[in-house]
Structure 1
Amino acid sequence: MKKFLLGTVALVALGATAPALAADLAARPYTKAPAYAAPIYNWTGFYIGGHVGGAFAGDNSFAGLANNGNDGRFLGGVQGGADYQFAPNWVLGVEGQYSWLANNNNNNAVAFTGAGAGFLYNNNQRAIGSATGRLGYTWGPGLLYVKGGYAWADTNDTLIFAGAPVAFTFDHSHRDGWTVGGGLEYMFAQNWSGKIEYQYYDFGNSRFATPAPLVAFGSFRNDEHTVKAGINYRFNFGGGPVVAKY
């Protein structure tokens, strides 16, 4: 009986001191959950790439005469440029582009009538290029942009009379002109982006200065409508998508 009473007293004493012992233990520190690191897409930097697409000549005939056809032609080429992102959703850049055109198979040939009977003119545009500025609006990986600037053409003009080539001159060179366009570019992987764009090239109006029988036929316009799909490799200052720091 004595041992039982002593054990009971010991248990009561231990129960009384347990809260005090627990109070002496250090409290578990609170750790804040890490903030979500949202990706930030950086468009600032240089890029190079390539493109394919189609070119469609405008209605560029001499007055009263029709071309053999305005069918589209395949094009392929290269581009390179630099962009700067600011403010923070705007992108300003410059770009150079060069596109080779498939053989047009006399697509722009014109057979003259009346006083010009016997003359056959062909405008074979082999390549087109441009040096443009561009301005875009970006939301993360997407970039919607417009562009415009200087354009030039690699053109081979021929004039045939009675089956033989003859000399001729124009009052205006249709190798230099201007261009405008726009498109959508998307950064789909680290340092890689794809784009689709429309670009219009206008190389002005030209008329024959010689031979004399063709002067009266007036002028023709040399222009191209193009649609392209391309891919760029970007040497970004800081990479493709990067992680925001908090």
Structure 2
Amino acid sequence: MHFRTLAAVFVVATAAAAPAMAADEINWTGFFLGGHLGMLSSTTSFNDPNGPPIYGGSVTAGGALAGFQAGYNQRVAPQWVLGIEGEYSFLGGSGSNTCLQPSTTVTGSNCKVQPQELATLAGRVGFLTQPQGRTMLFGKAGVSWLRSSVSMNPATVSFLDPGYIAQGITFSDDPNQPAPTSGSIGAFGPTIGAGVEYAFSPRWSMKFEYDYHHFSGMSLVTPQVTDVSETGVVTNLGSGGSSAMTQNLHIAKVGLNYRFGGPAKDTPASLSSAAADEPPFVPGWEFDVGTRFWYSSGRYQNQNGSPNQLVSRLTYRDVIGQSGELFARADAPFGVFVKGFVGAGGLSKGKMYDEDWGLNSELGAVPTGFEVTESDLNGTLHYITGDIGYNVMRGRDHKVGVFVGYNRYETTMNAMGCDQLVATSSGVCSQPPIPPTTNGISQIDAWQSVRVGVSAEATIFDRLKIAGDFAWLPYVKYDGLDIHRVRNIFFPVQGYGKGVQAELILTYMATEKFGIGIGGRYWSMWSSYAYETSTPTNIFEVETDRYGVFLQASYKFMAPR
């Protein structure tokens, strides 16, 4: 009873305190309800109670999110809006990496992270621009809650083989294969964000937003540790207690809000005088064509052996891509649109890391719990995307549409030379030596994806347009070939999985038809199940991501007036 009374007093008081609003201005005051779609990138760091890692220690996971939001805005000054917003999102994503690896004699673990749910409660401060106040720049801060599925999977232990015994190495004990630990872990943490929201009618608005979340205070029981020295001394240790975790989450999303306030439809009183003088908007044929340059950084990773008994992992990290693109979009007067782009370029810089656990005598000169090598990279990338969709909302200054489509992404990466980073006595890079001019390993991959997503754009200022494209990939087909050229070994791999692709573009229309823009793009794909085609029992996990900035120039013709 007291809560309802206080709430009623608050609404009446804030309404009375609101500044007078001109008849041609957008009314931001009131409750709102909407939905959102976007992408996420998370980094989870693991603290090993047995010591700092010599390699790895953090997991990057890409993914998608979809959810809803609700809140209340109050205009407190001619250009200022205060509000509160609650959001809930379903998350889909996955990532894994080496963790709990304090030395070369210890068989560490493969840590896997899958973000699943996110809830946020935040206050917002908005600044209104344009004569009508249709565009609101806002910042937000508050508290959020995240739930993730986390597992720690000890790597394989396979030292006992005739080769080492023939060398006179006697193992003091049988190495145990430790069991994995896992859990569904929730945590609270702070969040901050910023974005722009554009009211394209008195009731409807779209927003483009970035949020950062930080979570700590999480932990998981550390798996059992097995230590095997180069001379064959085996020590099977119990759990080292708990491993603490921290998680950082970056999110970009597009949202659509319905505001419970203002007139139900556009009227002369709800539009500026300039807009009221224009004839009603009639959709027509509209075409956009252009070219882009995309500067990106990428990562690719595959690992074989079951998730609980990891044998080997290849990681291609910080791989720089420079590619050119052609793109086009056509909108029909009856709501249908088609769009797409095609691009190609080169890969350079970056490093390839080859990790092995529990090396047998065919690969290692001595028993080695863990070793990792490093190689330089070069290569190529090619990609093509095509979508068909329908504009559920379209006006002179905005479009909101849904689409389905197809994407194909191909890369070839060549690892040159071999440098032993740890466990030099294993002899991996010296039997035989691999000089920097020698292509030791090549990775050839093709990812084919079904795209389902939302495309939105709005003219937020005079001549300045913002657009977003967010696609969930419910089905991804993977075909890869891992070539170990020095050993003349081939690993053909097939699989299927999921992914997300997103981009955000800011365009300045220098003329009515010619525009220049800058944008950001993020792709992430991962396997749900993959295997070596020549040996189906050899299970793989594969994941890749690529992100970067692009510059573009576009030309619009046959646009409606």
For 1:29, the equivalent position in structure 2 comes to none
Partners in 2 of 1:118 and 1:103 — Cα distance? 24
Partners in 1 of 2:218 and 2:147 — Cα distance? 16
String of CA shifts for 1:167-210, please: whole Å, max 9, x gaps: 579xxx65211111011001001300011011001112545565
Of 10, 15, 36, which aligns to 1:51?
A: 36
- Which 10-residue stretch deviates more, 121-130 or 185-194? 121-130
What letter corresponds to residue 74 of structure 2 in structure 1? Y
Secondary structure class of the residue paired with 1:41: coil
Secondary structure class of the residue paired with 1:190: coil
Of 95, 100, 109, which aligns to 1:119?
A: 109
Partners in 2 of 1:101 and 1:168 — Cα distance? 19
Preserved contact between residue 195 and residue 230 of structure 1 (Cα < 8 Å): yes
Question: Counting helix residues as a fraction of each chain, which structure ranks higher?
Answer: 1
Preserved contact between residue 39 and residue 241 of structure 1 (Cα < 8 Å): no
Matches within 5 A, 1:157-172: 157-161=150-154, 166-167=180-181
Confirm or deny that 1:102 pairs with 2:92. Answer: yes
For 2:395, the equivalent position in structure 1 comes to none
Partners in 2 of 1:215 and 1:222 — Cα distance? 21
The structure whose RCO (Cα within 8 Å, separation 6+) is larger is: 1
**What's the offset of the Cα at 1:99?**
1.7
For 1:79, the equivalent position in structure 2 comes to 69
Confirm or deny that 1:184 pairs with 2:196. Answer: yes
Secondary structure class of the residue paired with 1:156: strand
String of CA shifts for 1:203-245, please: whole Å, max 9, x gaps: 125455655757599744211011111110111156677738x
Preserved contact between residue 28 and residue 73 of structure 2 (Cα < 8 Å): yes
String of CA shifts for 1:86-111, please: whole Å, max 9, x gaps: 1222111111111222231xx04444
Partners in 2 of 1:58 and 1:111 — Cα distance? 13
- Which 10-residue stretch deviates more, 215-224 or 138-147? 215-224
What letter corresponds to residue 128 of structure 1 in structure 2? L
Partners in 2 of 1:156 and 1:59 — Cα distance? 12
For 1:228, the equivalent position in structure 2 comes to 253
For 1:18, the equivalent position in structure 2 comes to none
Preserved contact between residue 168 and residue 210 of structure 1 (Cα < 8 Å): no
Partners in 2 of 1:165 and 1:236 — Cα distance? 58
- Percent identical pairs in the alignment equals 29
Partners in 1 of 2:222 and 2:62 — Cα distance? 30
For 1:156, the equivalent position in structure 2 comes to 149
Partners in 2 of 1:42 and 1:217 — Cα distance? 53
- Tell me: CA distance 1:78–1:164, structure 2 relative to 1, closer, same or farther (3 Å): farther
What letter corresponds to residue 29 of structure 2 in structure 1? T
Confirm or deny that 1:198 pairs with 2:183. Answer: no
Partners in 2 of 1:226 and 1:233 — Cα distance? 22
What letter corresponds to residue 221 of structure 1 in structure 2? T
Confirm or deny that 1:141 pairs with 2:126. Answer: no
- Tell me: CA distance 1:226–1:235, structure 2 relative to 1, closer, same or farther (3 Å): same
**What's the offset of the Cα at 1:117?**
2.1
What are the ranges of 5 or more consecutive residues in structure 1 without an aligned counterpart? 1-36
Preserved contact between residue 96 and residue 131 of structure 1 (Cα < 8 Å): yes
Partners in 1 of 2:45 and 2:139 — Cα distance? 25
TM-score, reference length from structure 2:
0.33
Partners in 2 of 1:78 and 1:51 — Cα distance? 6
Preserved contact between residue 67 and residue 108 of structure 1 (Cα < 8 Å): no
- Tell me: CA distance 1:228–1:100, structure 2 relative to 1, closer, same or farther (3 Å): same
What letter corresponds to residue 151 of structure 1 in structure 2? S
What letter corresponds to residue 41 of structure 1 in structure 2? I
- Which 10-residue stretch deviates more, 219-228 or 154-163? 154-163
Partners in 1 of 2:251 and 2:180 — Cα distance? 32
What letter corresponds to residue 208 of structure 2 in structure 1? I
String of CA shifts for 1:92-151, please: whole Å, max 9, x gaps: 1111111222231xx044443347625333222112120111111113101111111110
Partners in 2 of 1:240 and 1:152 — Cα distance? 37
For 1:24, the equivalent position in structure 2 comes to none
- Tell me: CA distance 1:67–1:73, structure 2 relative to 1, closer, same or farther (3 Å): farther
Question: Counting strand residues as a fraction of each chain, which structure ranks higher?
Answer: 2
For 2:79, the equivalent position in structure 1 comes to 89
TM-score, reference length from structure 1:
0.69
User: Number of aligned pairs?
Assistant: 204
Partners in 2 of 1:238 and 1:45 — Cα distance? 12
Q: Which is greater in Rg?
A: 1
For 1:131, the equivalent position in structure 2 comes to 121
For 1:34, the equivalent position in structure 2 comes to none
Partners in 2 of 1:70 and 1:159 — Cα distance? 15
What letter corresponds to residue 188 of structure 1 in structure 2? F
- Tell me: CA distance 1:71–1:157, structure 2 relative to 1, closer, same or farther (3 Å): closer
Preserved contact between residue 43 and residue 61 of structure 2 (Cα < 8 Å): no
